[in-house]
Chain A
Amino acid sequence: MHDARGQIRRLPGLRLWLSGGWLLLLVLAAVFAPMISPHDPLEQDLFAARLPPFWQQGADPAYLLGTDSLGRDLLSRMLYGARLALTVALVAGTLTCLVGATLGLIAGYFRGWADLVISRLVDIWMAFPPVLFAILLIAVLGTGLTSIIVAIVVIDWTRFSRVVRAEAMSQGAMDYVASAQVAGRSRLGIALAEILPNVLPTIVALLTLEMGIAVIVEAILSFVNLSISTDQPTWGGMIAEGRTSIYQAWWVLVFPLVALFLTVLSFSQLGEGLKDYFDPVLR
């Protein structure tokens, strides 16, 4: 009994630390990339092409994680790639959250015609396959960081609005809302001071999840060469390049893939952990 309970309690904490740790590492890498990168991420050296990572035979210690088929340093490219991944995650995630959660709160608590319009819009949105939608949008907007962010917000706001709407609706039916109404609070006041705090844990969990999704979307777009200019290193672009030389140099594919995987996983785990932290009942 005691053991089982102790473990269940300890697990979320560990999860929070591990995922938070990886993301912190990533932030540091992104911020200090120019200082800590051992090489210029764009510098080619065809004599040093496809060098393996340090623990393998024939490695060059100057290239810790090896090089790609053009002889570019993988570690440096990964560090610069983290910059783009994190920028997209933070900016696109936050904007998507703001747009989606606001619309969801309006639809779920204020109801009426606003709900009708927003819910119809969500239905229509859900009918589009997201990846296709993204590629279409980029084709229209043109490539570049801003386009990626706009595309993510435009595609993914429904993820927030659907969930927030449902939660705001069920909170709106609670007696404490009736009491606040009787006491003379305005509807906007109730939405912000009474409903929002109760939906916040869910919003936080969704926000971190969305950051992970933003990283994936950016990687997919880079993979199909629709992200930003091709000479800027991105994880998705590296994966695309690594795919062609998987039998000769697996590391070119595997390192960015692992980074991507860990990052997305960390975002979602961080969300779960933070959700509990923000929930007064579970705290």
Chain B
Amino acid sequence: MSYLTIKDLTVRLKNGVPLLRKVSLEVKSGEVRALVGESGAGKSMIGKAVLGILPRAAKLTGGEILLDGEDLLTLPPKARRAKIGAKVALIPQDPLTALNPSRRVGPQITDRLVDILGWKRKQAEDRAAELLDEVHIQSPERVMRSYPHELSGGMRQRILIASAFAAEPKLIIADEPTTALDVTVQKQILKLIREMQERHDTALLFVTHDLGVVSKISQSLTVLYAGMVIEETDVRTFFAEPGHAYSRALLAATPKYTDPDGSLMPVPDSIISQVEQQVAAFDAQLKR
């Protein structure tokens, strides 16, 4: 069963420049889908569109976003907010700015449970402690009383993961959750996200520009270029026989864990111009 279905999603800047070009994408219940693409491809924009937090400069001009079969875009704003708040959570990219520096950690986790889901504060605090324990944080009570700056980057990312899972959402959008961390911590966090996702049976849209982590965490993936879906397939097929020339080039440009010193090929210009042509053709078609 598909939990999140995006159909022909188009997002433009106010001046009409398209950022997302009829993007379609699906995340099944309990599935992990990776969303890959180079910087500026529009990966975060998709996440923001689903979460209803598009930047002011961008506008959603077409398409559907179905959550559990219900089109979010036709819901009245209040009902949409409530539904997203209850069913979807975000693991942001930068643990440094994802926690409010002037507030203690505990309330930042429990706020959501108390304000949105109407839990009792004590109950929410117990739940937060339980989750911090689940993400392998020692002495959760002490951590909850800390300010973010008193904690390491990896610790903060663990807290953000705990916080995302706290209200048992059905879908989590993780926007490059390991990019800001150093390599050893990256691996632990990745493992932790995977572990939590399996235990809670949550659908996960995992945004990354690192093909290396894709096979580790996800079952399926969508490749994005310039706001356009280039390829969408399951992970095994993708690594065995990528369907699109751009995907092949992307794979050749990614270091392999089995052969970290193997030679790397930057994506050749010929392939870039090929996809650019595809994008231009698409835009011409859109205009008509």
Interface residues of A, Cβ cutoff 8 Å to B: 111-112, 174-176, 178-185, 194, 197-198, 200, 279-281
Contact = CB atoms under 8 A, between A and B. Distances in A.
Interface centre among B53, B100, B112, B116 (most CB of A within 10 A): B100
B53 A185 contact: no
A178 B50 CA distance: 13
A279 B102 CA distance: 7
Nearest to A282: B149
29 contacts: A111-B56, A112-B56, A175-B93, A175-B97, A176-B97, A176-B99, A176-B100, A178-B48, A179-B90, A180-B111, A182-B51, A182-B53, A182-B84, A182-B85, A182-B89, A182-B90, A183-B85, A184-B85, A184-B116, A197-B103, A198-B100, A200-B102, A279-B102, A280-B101, A280-B147, A280-B149, A281-B101, A281-B147, A281-B149
Contacts of A281: 101, 147, 149
Interface in B76-91: 81-82, 84-85, 88-90
A258 B81 CA distance: 59
A5 to B, nearest CB: 19
B92 A178 contact: yes
Nearest to A183: B112
Interface of B: 48, 51-53, 56, 81-82, 84-85, 88-90, 92-94, 97-103, 108, 111-112, 115-116, 147, 149, 163
- Chain A: interface secondary structure? helix
B53 A178 contact: yes
Shortest Cβ-Cβ A-B pairs, 4 listed: A184-B85, A175-B98, A175-B92, A197-B102
A179 to B, nearest CB: 6
Interface centre among A112, A176, A198, A281 (most CB of B within 10 A): A176
Contacts of A198: 100-102
Contacts of A176: 97-100, 108
B81 A184 contact: yes
A198 B147 CA distance: 13
A197 B85 contact: no
A171 to B, nearest CB: 9
A180 B92 CA distance: 12
Contact of B115 (A182, A184, A194, A280): A184
Contacts of A180: 111
A281 B48 CA distance: 30
Contacts of A183: 85, 111-112, 115-116
A10 to B, nearest CB: 22
Nearest to A111: B56
A279 B116 CA distance: 28
Nearest to A196: B102
Given A174-B98, A178-B51, A185-B111, 17 more contacts: A112-B56, A175-B94, A176-B99, A176-B100, A179-B163, A181-B51, A182-B52, A182-B89, A183-B111, A183-B112, A183-B115, A184-B82, A184-B84, A184-B112, A198-B100, A280-B149, A281-B101
A69 to B, nearest CB: 54
Contacts of A185: 111, 115
